[in-house]
Chains A and B, each alone.
Chain A
Amino acid sequence: MKMRLCLPLACVLLVTGLQADNEVYRTWTDAQGRKLEATFRGIENGNVFLQVRNGYVYRLALDKLSAADQQAAKTLKPEGLGIPSDPNLAQAAAQIDMLVEAGLKKAAQKPNPLASDEQFVRRVFLDLAGRIPTREEALEFINDTSLSKRAKVIDRLLESEGYRSHLFNYFADMLRMADVAQKARFYTYQDWLKGQISGNVPWNKIVQTMMTADGKLLENGATGYLLRDAGMRLDNLSLTLSTFIGANVSCAQCHDHPFADWTQRQFYEMAAFFGATETYGAKGNAGGGMQGVRKVIASLGDRRLQQQAKNLVRVNALAVEDSSTNDLKMPDDYKYPDARPGDLVAPKLITWSDDKTKKAYQGVQTTKHDEQLREQFAKWMTSPDNPRFAMTIANRMWKHIFGLAVKEPVTDLDDPAASVNPALLHHLANEMVRLKFDLKQFLRVLCNTQTYQREATSHELADNTPYLFPGPILRRMTAEQAWDSCATLVVGADVDKFKGHRGDTYAKAMNIDLSGGVSPDVLKGQIENAMASMRQFGGGKAEGKPKNRKKRMMNQTSEEDLTLAPPVRDGLVLARASELPQPEKDQHFLRMFGQSDRQIADSESEEGSIPQVLMLMNGEAQRVIGEKDSLVVKTASAQKTPEQQVESLYLSFFSRKPRADELATAVAGLGNGMTMRDLTWVLFNTREFIFVE
């Protein structure tokens, strides 16, 4: 299909050193005779864009160039695609491209051709906003003739509501965010994280806050990270190390790691940093008030009320507190000679053999105060000097955008040299530090690379062949991308408007003061009030009443205000996945399409199954998309000719116009008794729909 340059020709075009092989350099001269060796990136609004060898892009007024070069600028074909929005960004992107291309060159591979506008717009919407573009959004981009349109759409999407949803979904899978854990609702935790993402709080700050959070879950959502595994600090630590610094320690929890450096003793020494952290039935919080609480509960009429009140108290007791002594002990079955079972463990940080500077360790491990252990750990872990922290999130964000990490799996960065392109991996880590852990800025750089803007790799990778990123890989949509795209087909871009915000409501309803200073009567009043509000949230189910209320509202109002309540069709609540129960119930589209059950970190699945395909063919989603009140059908039906109708559907589903043969087939189908409903079914069930090019 694709024309590739044959090798001899490609060699002619190659410039020595770290240069992109499709770039051609010439010497440009301005009116004063100053010279600049640069490649021509295009001309727009009277400005010429010239990229020098280090990647920096100069913007020069056309009339400042020599007459000959003005002529050249008007006739030359621009190299690469588009103009990045600022010269430094262009340089950052170009540096990544050079490293990728150096890696490819070493393996005698060539990058993929640049992606078409149609491929690009669908991909960048899915990767940054988490859903396909609507027909109008796709057309707006395709019809835009400006050179900087790719950079502009990237900027726009990074500021969109969808960005928050999509990145939340990624982290929700990574952090196993579930509505229900420890028999309480973790809504405040979710809202907290969403707030951090939309505020673009730097990643090191986000993680540090989670590690050091204090207080009640109801009052401080950031405590959700430690409370998710309340009473299981070893499991929690194992996940912390693999998730945030790619230390593959899960084996060392029970025995010395068979391949890597980690010993069981090291694992326990790290765990000792959380040895003074209480997450199990906060003592101090309920403290003196517990007796009063027990009396009030006993005074409640029937057993069911008593049980509810007990639940309420348990939710209020979920808190993180520091005690004054680290009580972590070696396990009862410890079998190595360097310690005895049951020995108290002193905290000690792990080191990496490739870390020569040890900068991150400076100023750590000096405290005599056990209640500060967590802070020390967090400071060390999230330090820009920590040899793995920046690298881990950079590698994860790369995977988020390219479909595969530079070092897989993302939870094991013990040996960066084992990466497919170690130079690239180290560079990405440095970039993350240079950008001060600004994830939005980091993603902006990645999306502006030519590497990202190339066609997806279409061939099957041979076994044992490392993937060197000639372009992004072809990948199936995540469950959330697929669901949000379905909702977009039915509702349009407004699907981004509705936001759940369940944390505030829940905390307000449930929070009671158990500190002991309140009189029994006041306490009783508090408990009864909270129990009344609790009923509003339904028994054990995350959905329930609010949904029904919304449904009623929808039936009453013809004008749908999507900021208040999402539309409901055929039992499906058409809101972004990030605003639905976390995770959804098992038979929901999201779960059947592979949404993580939030029990295992990073466990979103992109695999098919028979029940899943049955759902795609016969479930609610295909029906709702094909109904007359679905936006995609309404828009297509408003077109005059069958040709225009088919084109409209193609733009909605695939962000492209149909090819001639496809148009002919679909139009013939419409003439042969097939309906719009049938066509939407067909397009929905194609591989092209669920895969991201």
Chain B
Amino acid sequence: MNLHNQLDPISRRAFCERWASAALGVTVLHSLGGRSFAAEATAAAAPTGPGFGKAKNVIFLQMVGGMTHIDTLDPKDGPTQGPKAPIKTKADFQLGGTMENLAKQADKFSIIRSMTSKTGVHAAGQYVIRTGYEQRGTIKHPNIGAWAQHFLGSSHKTLPSNVCVNRQPQNGNGFFPSSFSPLPILDPDVGLQYAKSEATPDQMVKRLAMLDQLDAGFRDRFKTSEVKSYTQFYDKTISIMSSTDLEAFHLDDEPEALKEKYGKNKFGQGCLLARRLVEKGIRYIEVAKGGWDMHNNIDDGLEEHGAELDVALSALLEDLKERGLLESTLVVLCSEFGRGPKINGNAGRDHHPKVFSTLLAGGGIKGGFIYGSSDKEGMAVADKQTSPQDFLSTIGWSLGLPVDEVVMSPSNRPFTVGDKGKPVMELFA
């Protein structure tokens, strides 16, 4: 097997290509990083403006379960307040009482306090905040990492451009080829699954040599793109296994003190891994954190999960800043919805999509800035309503994606980054 095989784009989607060429008489063009699906219109003149293309990488922190905005990013007083009183920060706004460390980093980020979503159902809400589209039974929509790979190409020669930590990929590639799918890292301490062979290097060399020989007849006989594509995946996988790039996934190489600083839990270590991957040139990393569905005893929930978030996010921002990576790395924090102002009978808060908050940092985003607001109770949007689509378009803008460009799916339906949302320009410095 030729390990030095020039790696072609492995972006051919067998199905689409096959029926397009066989049945429709239509050529669907693919190319690495190019606009691999036929764009409807000729590309509009490249957009420009503040912040456009400032981010080379994105770390997308998804709080699963519905993060209470009132106890974290949009604190209130009075009966709405919750278990802890708001605290002062380095900037001229307050944060929820649990966000002690984040308060010291407030000069590095902006908060949108006027997010609103249409659904109070977890899975549906998570899908919308990740893709900008509602779930359908007929198509999957891509996450921003897949959109970025479509418009900008691969971010690394061997490693994937799209990674998700502490969560399954769940078709993050959407209607794009599966090579755009996020590579899942289910446990940051373990790293890439199945990356290690049980065979000794010597044994492996023999196996691979024999594999190459015994399969040669078949490969010669069937020179179809599907067979070639598999051969390329094997080549690419073997080159990853035998390259030093895999070190990107080795958290053990990080100093113990730093690991402690991020917090020795899956989310903390996931954030640390995300920073390592950014350093290695991986463009898009999602890190998920569960535990936010705090219907009961929100006090306990915040003590555990609020604190984990506070520690990890502030360590991440500080670390990126120290390494000079914050300007080129957009860090966002979001959730499928917020939680209601009312403390319920179980000392918890219930789902509240009507208003909630997200946080953005780096990648040309202003520091110490609040965009929009909720009303006095944190019940509804008071000013500058912002949708998940606007939020995602803002991320796309920061990455330098043509957010207005219509892309046709293989089933010939039109889609855009963030479903025609408007980037929030005031967030950019």
Say if A and B assemble together.
Answer: yes
User: Which A positions have Cβ atoms within 8 angstroms of B?
Assistant: 1, 176, 229, 235-236, 238-239, 242, 250-251, 259, 303, 404-405, 407-409, 418-420, 456, 458-467, 473-476, 586-587, 597, 599-601, 603, 605-615, 617-619, 623, 659, 662, 665-666, 669, 672-674, 678-679, 681-683, 685-688, 690-691, 693
A475 with B226: CB separation less than 8 A:
yes
Partner of B171, one of A456, A597, A608: A597
Q: Which residues of A contact B263 (CB under 8 A)?
A: none
B222 with A690: CB separation less than 8 A:
no
The 7 closest A-B pairs by CB, nearest first: A408-B19, A408-B23, A467-B22, A608-B233, A614-B194, A688-B218, A613-B237
B214 with A682: CB separation less than 8 A:
yes
Partner of B22, one of A250, A408, A587, A687: A408
Distance in Å: Cβ of A510 to nearest Cβ of chain B: 23
B:98-157 near A, CB below 8 Å: 135-140
- 6 A-B interface contacts by CB (under 8 A): A460-B225, A474-B226, A601-B138, A611-B184, A613-B234, A685-B211
B41-49, B202-210, B286-294, B389-397: which lies at the interface: B202-210
With CB as the reference atom, state the residue of chain B lying closest to A228.
B137
Interface of chain A, main secondary structure: loop
**Distance, CA A685 to CA B203, complexed state (A):** 15
**Distance, CA A532 to CA B140, complexed state (A):** 38
B231 with A600: CB separation less than 8 A:
no
If A599-B135, A665-B213 are given as contacts, then 10 extra A-B residue pairs at C-beta distance below 8 Å, sorted by A number, are A239-B137, A458-B221, A460-B223, A465-B21, A605-B15, A608-B178, A608-B233, A614-B195, A617-B237, A685-B211
Distance in Å: Cβ of A19 to nearest Cβ of chain B: 26
User: Contacts A460-B223, A608-B229, A614-B194 known; A682 to B211 CB distance under 8 Å?
Assistant: yes
User: Contacts A610-B240, A674-B206 known; A461 to B21 CB distance under 8 Å?
Assistant: yes
User: Which B positions have Cβ atoms within 8 angstroms of A?
Assistant: 10, 13-15, 18-19, 21-27, 135-140, 160, 168-171, 177-179, 181, 183-184, 186, 192-199, 203, 206-207, 210-211, 213-215, 217-227, 229-231, 233-234, 236-237, 240-241, 346, 411-413
Partner of B194, one of A461, A611, A687: A611
B215 with A666: CB separation less than 8 A:
no
Q: Which residues of A contact B230 (CB under 8 A)?
A: 476, 608, 613, 687, 690
Q: Which residues of A contact B21 (CB under 8 A)?
A: 461-465
Distance in Å: Cβ of A130 to nearest Cβ of chain B: 20
Partner of A669, one of B24, B193, B206, B229: B206
Q: Which residues of A contact B22 (CB under 8 A)?
A: 404, 408, 420, 461, 465-467
User: Contacts A408-B19, A614-B195, A615-B194 known; A606 to B214 CB distance under 8 Å?
Assistant: no
A610 with B138: CB separation less than 8 A:
no
User: Contacts A459-B223, A600-B139 known; A407 to B23 CB distance under 8 Å?
Assistant: yes
Distance in Å: Cβ of B12 to nearest Cβ of chain A: 9
Distance in Å: Cβ of A585 to nearest Cβ of chain B: 9
With CB as the reference atom, state the residue of chain B lying closest to A659.
B217
Partner of B23, one of A467, A617, A687: A467
User: What's the count of A-B pairs with C-beta under 8 Å?
Assistant: 205
**Distance, CA A463 to CA B198, complexed state (A):** 42
User: Contacts A606-B14, A607-B13, A666-B214 known; A678 to B237 CB distance under 8 Å?
Assistant: no
**Distance, CA A419 to CA B24, complexed state (A):** 8
B226 with A459: CB separation less than 8 A:
no
A669 with B210: CB separation less than 8 A:
yes
**Distance, CA A248 to CA B195, complexed state (A):** 43
**Distance, CA A674 to CA B241, complexed state (A):** 21
B177 with A607: CB separation less than 8 A:
yes
A597 with B206: CB separation less than 8 A:
no
A686 with B214: CB separation less than 8 A:
yes
B181 with A665: CB separation less than 8 A:
no
Partner of A618, one of B196, B224, B413: B196
User: Contacts A1-B221, A607-B178 known; A687 to B139 CB distance under 8 Å?
Assistant: no
Distance in Å: Cβ of A687 to nearest Cβ of chain B: 5
Q: Which residues of B contact A683 (CB under 8 A)?
A: 214
Q: Which residues of A contact B18 (CB under 8 A)?
A: 404, 408, 461, 467, 473
A678 with B160: CB separation less than 8 A:
no
B24 with A408: CB separation less than 8 A:
yes
Q: Which residues of A contact B233 (CB under 8 A)?
A: 608-610, 612-613
Q: Which residues of A contact B136 (CB under 8 A)?
A: 235, 250
**Distance, CA A195 to CA B18, complexed state (A):** 34
B138 with A242: CB separation less than 8 A:
yes
Q: Which residues of B contact A608 (CB under 8 A)?
A: 10, 178, 229-230, 233
**Distance, CA A462 to CA B18, complexed state (A):** 10
**Distance, CA A678 to CA B221, complexed state (A):** 25
B194 with A599: CB separation less than 8 A:
no
Distance in Å: Cβ of B84 to nearest Cβ of chain A: 25
User: Contacts A461-B18, A612-B233, A687-B231 known; A600 to B137 CB distance under 8 Å?
Assistant: yes
Q: Which residues of B contact A462 (CB under 8 A)?
A: 21
With CB as the reference atom, state the residue of chain B lying closest to A610.
B237
B219 with A687: CB separation less than 8 A:
yes
User: Contacts A420-B23, A476-B226, A597-B171 known; A617 to B194 CB distance under 8 Å?
Assistant: yes
**Distance, CA A405 to CA B197, complexed state (A):** 40
**Distance, CA A672 to CA B413, complexed state (A):** 56
Q: Which residues of A contact B177 (CB under 8 A)?
A: 607
**Distance, CA A465 to CA B224, complexed state (A):** 14
**Distance, CA A1 to CA B216, complexed state (A):** 14
Q: Which residues of A contact B26 (CB under 8 A)?
A: 464
A691 with B138: CB separation less than 8 A:
no
Q: Which residues of A contact B181 (CB under 8 A)?
A: 609
B139 with A458: CB separation less than 8 A:
no
Q: Which residues of A contact B203 (CB under 8 A)?
A: 674, 678
**Distance, CA A242 to CA B138, complexed state (A):** 10
B193 with A463: CB separation less than 8 A:
no
B25 with A464: CB separation less than 8 A:
yes
A303 with B346: CB separation less than 8 A:
yes
Q: Which residues of B contact A250 (CB under 8 A)?
A: 136, 138-139, 411, 413
**Distance, CA A611 to CA B162, complexed state (A):** 13
User: Contacts A461-B18, A618-B197, A674-B210 known; A238 to B221 CB distance under 8 Å?
Assistant: no
Partner of B217, one of A418, A420, A662, A678: A662
A609 with B206: CB separation less than 8 A:
no
Q: Which residues of B contact A236 (CB under 8 A)?
A: 137
B218 with A686: CB separation less than 8 A:
yes
Q: Which residues of B contact A617 (CB under 8 A)?
A: 194, 197, 237, 241
**Distance, CA A120 to CA B215, complexed state (A):** 20
Most buried by B among A404, A461, A587, A618: A618
User: Contacts A459-B224, A600-B139 known; A686 to B215 CB distance under 8 Å?
Assistant: yes
Most buried by A among B21, B169, B170: B21
